Structure formats: structure tokens, C-alpha cells
Chain A
Amino acid sequence: MPAPPPGPSIGFDAVAVTYPGGVRAVDGVSLTVAGGSFVALVGQSGSGKSTLLKTINRLVAPTAGCVTIDGVDVADGAAHLLRRRIGYVFQNVGLFPHMSVGENIAIGLRLAGRRADGRVAELLALVDLPPDLARRMPDALSGGQRQRVGVARALATEPRLMLMDEPFGALDPVTRDALGTSIRALHDRLGLTTVMVTHDMAEALLIADRVLVMRGGSVVADETPAALIAGAGGADAAALVAVPRAQAQRLAALSAPAAGA
């Protein structure tokens, strides 16, 4: 099977978002995300990472600057047509409670006037869920299952670009780890461009190709995971990396005497 063409590139050109009341959530971000890369946006609450992500699918409109996908301004054309080409997964999932799992997954196809046919079962398999789940209602699912259905819904129209806003935020650690791994695998298999917002540096380091650290609306570090571990990226990045590093050391220390015994 030939490798699929890589997903689109994204360009931010002096993007700023000022909320009514004068709060500058995003303060002049300029950078490029290469097609096919997996980028993590990391930062504390209020750093502007979610807002920056939402300028890509126009859930938030920049008050200055512009966002491009493969060189085309996202503001050209209708917002709903843009969004149908972009997969979007977020922490609260937002499954439609009055539609079955199958109908939820097929909604993008329905909007595009396409037939679902065997796609629902295929997509459920893609996110490691059994096909008979399609007939259930969302309120009969566990949190992890719901998030997987959210991912399947986002992938239904075969978007080349995935945006994820704290996709694993509400999940238990085991589910979180498993889902993170499958997302990365899907990204590689489908050749997507993926931008993921997370406040968890460990998750970013383990899944992404490139980590952007945000603080006060600006990108303060832009490094590969390896470079960040090696100490690049400055003080903010170092403080965020220090947490999982210290945890890893404490865990190693805990297991060392056991190994020696």
C-alpha cells in the first residue's frame, strides 16, 4: 500500500486574538506547521493554546493577521465548508445525544450528502471499537469509548488535517495512554497533519514531532521533544519539562532498590 500524500501545511502570519474586554489571548504568532507533522501546543491554562488552535477552523476569528492552509487563507469561503475538510476533536467530545453512535459518526458524510454504507463499522474498527456499538446511544458509553467515537466522527470524511483540543483531558491514565498511542498510529497510517493542544508535557513529548510552548499568548519555545529533553527552549519550557522528568526519576528511584533486592 503506497504511503498517502502528507497532510496540508499550516501557516500563521502575525495572528492575534483580542477578546471583547481587551484580553489578548493570542499575541502575534507567526510560524509554519509542515505538512504531515504532529505538533503539540503546550502551555498552562490561559496561555492561548486553545484559541490559537481554533483560529485554524475558524471557531475563533483572528482580530489581526491570517491563518493559511496550504497557502490559502482560511477566511476565504464559507466557514462550514472549511470545517468539513478538517477533523476536530475536543475534551468534551460533544456527541449529539439524540443520535446513535452510528449516526454521530456518519454526520459529516450526511452533511456532505454522501452515503455512509460500510464506513461506520470501518471507522469504529479504526478506533478499536466493536461494530455493534453503532446502534447504542452516546449516554450508554464510557468516557474512553465516547472520546474514541469523537475521533471516529472527526475522521469520517477523511480529512487531511486533525485539530485536537485536550482530547484526552477527561480520561483515566490507562485509557489516556492507550488512546494517545492509537492517535499517533492513525496519524502515521493516514498521513495526516495533526495539531494537538494539551497541558500535559509528558503526553506532548511522547506523541508529537514538534512541541510549541505558549505563554501569555506567545509561542516561547518551538523544539523537537528530544531537544526539549536536552534542555533547549528556555525557562518556561524547562519548567514544564522538569515535572515529568522529576516524576520519571522518582519512579526510577522507587524501582531501583526493588531491582537490587
Chain B
Amino acid sequence: MSEVWTRVPGLLASHVLLAAAALLLGLVLAIPLTLASARSPLVARLALGFASLVQTIPSLALLALFYPILLSLSALVGGGIPALGFLPSLLALALYALLPILRNGVTGLATLDPAVIEAADGVGMTRWQKLRLVEAPLVAPVLMAGIRTAAVWTIGAATLSTTVGQPSLGDLIFAGLQTQNWALVLAGCTAAAALALGVDALLGLAERGIATRRRWLWIAPLALLAAGLAVAIAPRLQSTRGTVVIGAKGFSEQYILARLIGHRLEDAGYRVTYREGLGSVVAFAATAAGDVDVYVDYSGTIWTNEMKRTDVPPRAGIVAGVRDWAKRAHGVTLVGTLGFENSYAFAMRGDDAARRGIATIADLARVAPTLNLATDIEFLERPEWRAVRDAYGLRFRSARPYQPTFMYRALEDGTADVIPAFSSDGRIAADRLAVLGDPKGAIPGYDAILLAAPARANDAAFLAALRPLLDHVPVQRMREANYMVDRDRDKRSPDQAARWLAARIGIAPRDQAR
């Protein structure tokens, strides 16, 4: 349990920093808009309409939308705009914070006593004096209530920034959900909720202080918040040069391999941070852009999704093709293969497959219209699915995406009859699943490959630290490590599983070598 909490302070600091920056940006955007709205009903309608529209977009989608927007913007200005991490999170959350601040500001200004405004004009105030001496102090309590709402929303939504590669308390929630480590989920939720409640309480005090014109009552809580922010920022001011960012997609194997890589690099003297829970497309793009230094992908994934290839050559051919293409098109180095394959493998409950007499995807196609398919979140959108579907004429009664963990659960409890399992998954053996053959060779090879960012192409020490991993991870060991994290009892953390794997394949760090 205590191991769970050791990750909280660092992530909490990132979370605070992101939420505070987004709130501040929201405020900076909202205040001039509020003033313009007070002067012009047209601006008010447009601004409030836009802010409300933003609010109807689910926050997860809003975050995801900024990735292509920033990517094309970056392409437009010749690169240099990071499409992942802090920037898209900041922009999405700031837009999200806009509505409550704007709405309260506009309402506050609109409901000011007209007599007070007439008096302000009557005594000879300039427009600026009227704003500073009369409108601002009278609207402040209402505006503060809006800021408070925005702060709580922003802190909550910031947990989702994990999906675009920005570290936050969401890292704990997503990783915990994936590896069914509920202590981790609970830690993330508790920390985020405590942060939101604390900030809400302090801003509530400040709101009351402003409304009742008690100076200390609003200065003290705001000073406390500023101090908290300073504590969160302080460690970031130290140089972060020499820090390696290791990417991981959102499943156990990726978490374990990220740690395996991380431990080796730490051993070689690098400082390491992790960006976990990335989508497939996001992970590759982040590496090409240099936001991620190194991560593990699978040759078939790049082959079909990034290169848009539909032919299926032998495994070695795919790896060679990916190596050339990644270098040529994106400057990304394929350091090498890890030695195992993690392919999509259609799987059924063993007894069910035997009863129905299904051994291959071709057998499956005959009865598929009576069966339910459960997939991971990406599968139904991937070209591999279209290739297999069209090659065998697969039509299922239903097809539903799940978090990978829940995909196995759905198969186990009969909600689904077929899943595209991962061939390196320990649960295939443990759950006695039947893996169906692919006689038509519709599914490409998925060798695990180590991809490194352009800037690391000539970093000899970096590459040397990774090289011992190449072709040293047999699929059986990977399955065992995955199962340690995925199983229900006696679970291990990805970190522990990575150390176990390192020891088992004989590349244990010096200080742990037996």
C-alpha cells in the first residue's frame, strides 16, 4: 500500500501545476470576454454560446481533439508545437474552465444595480475607474463563485490528461484500472478529490471574505493557495536535462516493459519519467516529436496503422519494412526486436470452442452471427480488424469495446464469446482459452520492437543501455510477467514484475544480480 502512495506527491504536483495553469489561462481568457460581453449583447451571446458548446464536448474527447489540432498547427508553422502532454491538456482544460467564470461574470455585471452605475457616471468616473472602483468589487463575489466551480471541474478533468501523455493523478487511476490494482485507483481518486475539496474550501472562504469585505478572510486563503502552488512548482525549476521519457500504452505488458527499460536507463545514470496509458497513434507520434524518448511497439501495429499496408509478408519482412520507414519518414530509430511476438489472436473459452468444433477463424466465421465479440478499445477501429473481417467474412451478433482487463472478464462470464486476445497474455493459458488459427494469414506479425526518438539515434550510452534487452525476452517469460500483474490474487506491480523479468532473463541490474 505504501508503495502506492510514494507516486502520489510527484503526480499531485504535476496535477496542481496543470490545473492551476489551466484555471489561470481560463481566467485570462474569461475576464476580457466578460467585459466585452457586458458592453455588447452580441459578444455575450457568441461568447456564452461558444463556452456552452465546449462544455457539451466530453472532456476526454476535448483533450483528444487537441492532438490533431495542434499537430496540424505545428505542421502549418513548420513544427515545434508539442501536440502531446502539457500544452493540449492546458488548452482543453482552460476552455473547460471558461464557461463558469464567463457565465458568472456576465450575470454579475448584468445584475448590477443600474442606480449604482448611474451614480458612478454622475460623480465623474472614467470607464476604467468605474470598472476598478465599482463594477469589479461588486462583481467579485459572483465571479469568485464561478472561479470556484471552474477550479473543481478543472481538477477533476485534469485526471484525464493522462491519455494525452501529461502526468497527473489520472496516471494512478488509469494504471490501476488496467492492472486491476484498486489501491492505485483509490489513491488517485482520493488525492484528486482531496485536492478539489481543499481548493474549493479555500476559494469558498475567499469568496465569503470578498462578499463580506473582510480583507484577511480572502487574503489568507489565496496566500495559502499560492504557497501550495509554489511547493508544486519548486522541484520543476531544477534542470530536467538528462531526463528520459519512457512511453507506454495502456496495458500491463507495456507498463512492465516501460519499467524494464526504465530500470536499465536509471542504472546507466539517466533520470527517468514515464508517460503511461498512451493510445497507439499517440505513442508513435509522441516519439517522432521527441516528447517520448523510447517505447515498445509492435511491428504489425506500425505496419497496418501508420504505414497503411494491407499486404502481410513474413515477420522479418515487416520488421525490416518498419525499420526503413520509421527512419525515413520520421527519423525514429528501431533499436531492435525484444524477441517475442504479441499478436492479435482470436480466442474463445476452451470448452466452448471444443463444443462448437471451432479451431480456426474460418470455422468461427460460420457461426459468428450467433456470437458476441468483445474487443479492446482500439481494435474495431484498426485496419487489422477490417483485414481479418474481410478475409474471412466475419459478422458477429454484436461487437463491444472494453478496457483490455474487462475484455477478458467479458469472455469469462459469457457476456462475450470471442475476443481478440494478445498472444503474449498470461491469461490465455491461465483462463484455458482456445486460440484460433489464421489459415489465410490475414493477421500480420507483431514483433515487439524498441523505438527511439530522433534525438536518441546517436546517443551511444542510451543505446548501449538498451541493447542487452534485444532478443532477450522470450514470450513465455513475458506471459508470466504479464500474468503476475493481471491475475486476481497475489498481484504484483508492473515495477516488481519488471524486476522479476530482468532477473529471469539474466539482465538484472548490477546491484540486484545474484
Contacts and interface: CB of A to CB of B under 8 A. Distances in A.
A57 B213 CA distance: 32
A98 B124 contact: no
A57 B123 CA distance: 10
A146 to B, nearest CB: 11
Contacts of B119: 88, 90, 93-96, 150
Interface size class of A (residues with CB under 8 A): 20 to 34
A92 B115 CA distance: 6
Contact of A94 (B113, B124, B137): B113
B129 A96 contact: no
Interface in B90-117: 113-117
Contacts of B117: 94
Nearest to A100: B213
B21 interface: no
A93 B137 CA distance: 19
Contacts of B475: none
Given A97-B116, A98-B213, A108 B123 contact: yes
Interface stretch (A22-30, A79-87, A120-128): A79-87
B122 A88 contact: yes
Give the one of A81, A94, A95 with max B CB within 10 A: A94
B118 A59 contact: yes
Contacts of A90: 115, 118-119, 122
A111 B113 CA distance: 21
B121 interface: yes
A9 B126 CA distance: 26
B124 A81 contact: yes
Task: Classify the interface of chain B: helix, strand, loop or mixed.
Answer: helix
A107 interface: yes
Interface in A145-196: 150, 153-154
B115 A97 contact: no
B125 interface: yes
Interface string B119-142: 111111110010001100110000
B122 A97 contact: no
Contacts of B113: 92, 94, 97
A193 B119 CA distance: 20
Contacts of B129: 80, 111
B213 A84 contact: no
A59 B124 contact: no
Interface in A55-84: 57, 59, 78, 80-84
Contact of B122 (A81, A94, A98): A94
B138 A94 contact: no
Given A90-B115, A92-B115, A111-B129, A98 B137 contact: yes
Contacts of B115: 90, 92-94
B116 A94 contact: yes
Contact of B124 (A80, A92, A96, A97): A80
Interface string B488-508: 000000000000000000000
Given A94-B113, A97-B138, A98-B213, A107 B118 contact: no
Interface-central residue, B119, B122, B125, B134, by most chain A CB under 10 Å: B122
B378 to A, nearest CB: 56
Contact of B123 (A78, A88, A97, A98): A88
A154 B113 CA distance: 19
A237 B286 CA distance: 85
A153 B118 CA distance: 14
B138 A153 contact: no
A139 to B, nearest CB: 12
Interface in B130-161: 133-134, 137-138
A228 to B, nearest CB: 30
A25 B134 CA distance: 30
A107 B116 contact: no
B138 A111 contact: no
A80 B137 contact: no
A59 B121 contact: yes
Nearest to B116: A94
B116 A111 contact: no
A79 to B, nearest CB: 8
Interface string B185-211: 000000000000000000000000000
Contact of A111 (B114, B125, B213): B125
A6 to B, nearest CB: 23
A59 B124 CA distance: 10
A153 B123 CA distance: 8
Nearest to B112: A97
Given A59-B122, A96-B120, 12 more contacts: A78-B126, A80-B125, A84-B124, A90-B119, A92-B118, A94-B113, A96-B116, A96-B133, A96-B134, A107-B123, A107-B133, A111-B129
Query: Sorted from nearest, which 8 A-B pairs have the closest CB atoms?
Result: A94-B119, A84-B124, A92-B115, A83-B124, A94-B115, A88-B122, A80-B124, A98-B137
28 contacts: A57-B122, A59-B121, A80-B124, A80-B129, A81-B124, A82-B124, A83-B123, A84-B123, A84-B124, A88-B122, A88-B123, A90-B115, A90-B122, A92-B113, A92-B114, A92-B118, A93-B119, A94-B115, A94-B116, A95-B116, A96-B133, A96-B134, A97-B113, A98-B138, A111-B124, A150-B119, A153-B123, A154-B123
